[in-house]
Structure formats: C-alpha cells, structure tokens
Structure 1
C-alpha cells in the first residue's frame, strides 16, 4: 500500500473529520424536540415521538441534559449544543400538565379516571392525585421524609378520619406547593402514618386558593391574580 505524503495525509484527515462532523450534525438536526410541560428545574420533552422527563442534575436521556427550567422555558444540552426551548407542541394528556403563560394547567384523567399530575413540594418533585373531596393536602411518612420534613418535630398531632378508620397524623405547614406555573406558599398539610396515601393528595388547602373548572373530562387549574 502506497504511503501518503504528510501534506496529503493532513488533507485526508481534514476531509475525514469534516465528513464525521457533518454526519453528526445531520443526525442531531434530524432530532425533533418538543417541550410539552415546564416546571422548576424539570421539563417533559418529546424527542422523535418519545416522551421523557428531564430533571436538572440527572443523567443524560436520549442525548438530552436539562441545565435549567422554569414555567416559561428550558435550557437543554443536546449532544453538546445548548439551546433554550419554549413551550410548544400538543399538551400531554395523562400524568403531566400543560403549562401556559397564564399559569393555567390542564389535567386529563388517566385510564382509571384519576387526575394525576406532577409538581413540587418544598422544591422536591412528586406526583399529586387531585382530590376535590379532601379538605387538606395529605401525604404518608415516606413522602414527608423525601421532602425533608421532620413532621414529628414540626407537626402537631391531629385525629383524622380516613377510609381505614381514625388515625393520628401530624398537621403542619409546607413552605410551598407548585403545580405547573402555580405556586402557593405556606400551605397546610397532614402527614399520615403508614404507606397511605400512595400519592400526595392535592386537597382543598391548595385547590381553594386557585380557580378550578371542569370542561368535559378535563380539570383546569388557574392561578388567581394578586
């Protein structure tokens, strides 16, 4: 095999590297990225038809890394390229809300007719079950620990009637609850002993502070003007 002279070898490497970079750029450009829901440091993204949830500080998924997000936009690194994405595309019709600039959240029922949505308790990501019959936000002991709540120290004992009978829980105030673009501070909640409820119940201590409407099967939550 004939040896390439240094000048020709350099030219060959430049052409080869250019071809590789062009191939990478074409592949990246072909990715269709749609931001479908935005939260504080969390985003629901559809990439090439696959829905994924990105959380700041978590590992890369599908070549995407979330660098930051709020209710208006997300900063996403895609194969080394950083771009800012606004809300776009169709609303997510199951577990995640559609976040509009007016802080109006649409929540669709799941296959069991439950209204489940993601949000934050004291800045920590969780899932809420919207419960219009609950007089207060309710969670179990494990939820409280995940949120960094020392309920035995900060809470006050309270007797609570549940479907399983009377329980003694701990009533306390949460620093904040965020659902989509809606943030409510100093919200009363109850921590119940055991493993129930399995999801945090989004009850009246939050729902009474927002405008709640039903349109067909959809629940709409909207922030009230200050």
Structure 2
C-alpha cells in the first residue's frame, strides 16, 4: 500500500512529506528531509546496504526522536537516511508497525495508535 502524507507530518522539529510504504521495512529519509529534521547529515556514515528497485545503495542508520502524523506521535523511531537515489521520504514499518491499525479507503488513510 502506498499513499502520500503531506503537511501534517513531522520528523523531530521539521516538516517532512512522506509516501506511506508498507513494503519498506524502515522509515527512509531523503538527504534534504533529514536536514529539515535537524540531523547532521555530513556526520553520518552511509554504510548500511539497502536494496531498491534501482539496485543496491547505501544508507546511514539514525534514531529519530519523534515521527508525527497528525495527532499520532511515535518516539525513538529507527530510520535510514538515503543520500542519493530517493526522491521522497518513505514512512515504512519502523513507524507503521508501532500502530494498532493501518487502513486505506478510497478517500482516506486511517491510522490508529
């Protein structure tokens, strides 16, 4: 399942636009979104191999203080920062797996903590 999440999503103190991706094992941030979230991207080690549709790439492991969608906030979320090759941040299972329910309808994405 994929869905766009816009204005009401935050990572740490920054606004991030997510694509909800239940097929992504982890939250994955673009380099720019990681900067918006206050992560010191220059200090990261991009040594985590990841498999994507475009082939193998490398990401950096980070622990996010918080990820919020509307009124739902999850703290201490494991995530990856992908320096190259990711055009939109992915809201993957390290966030979604903490929820009680994720349901897509024709007009809405319903999340329950």
TM-score by length of 2: 0.85
Structure 2 counterparts to residues 107-186 of structure 1, below 5 A: 114-118=2-6, 119-153=9-43, 157-186=47-76
**Structure 2 unaligned regions, length at least 5:** none
The superposition leaves residues 5-52 of structure 1 with CA deviations (integer Å, 9 ceiling, x where unpaired) of: xxxxxxxxxxxxxxxxxxxxxxxxxxxxxxxxxxxxxxxxxxxxxxxx
Match of 1:21 in 2: none
Q: 1:187 aligns with which of 77, 88, 99?
A: 77
2:4 and 2:20 in contact (8 A); partners too = yes
Secondary structure (helix, strand or coil) at the match of 1:210 reads coil
Indicate how the Cα distance of structure 1 residues 154 and 175 shifts in structure 2: closer, same or farther if over 3 A, else same.
farther
The number of equivalent residue pairs is: 110
Q: Which of the pair is proportionally richer in helix? A: 1
Following TM superposition, by how much is the alpha carbon of 1:214 offset from its aligned partner in structure 2, in angstroms? 2.6
The RMSD of aligned alpha carbons is 2.0
Which blocks of at least 5 consecutive residues in structure 1 are unaligned?
A: 1-112
* Deviation string, structure 1 residues 147-192 (Cα, Å, up to 9, x no partner): 2211343556201111111111101101100001000111011111
Q: Which has the larger radius of gyration?
A: 1
- Runs of 4+ aligned residues of structure 1 deviating over 3 Å after TM superposition are none
User: Which one has a larger percent strand, Structure 1 or Structure 2?
Assistant: 2
Q: Is residue 212–residue 219 contact of structure 1 (8 Å, CA) maintained in 2? A: no
The structure showing larger relative contact order (alpha-carbon pairs under 8 Å, at least 6 residues apart) is 2
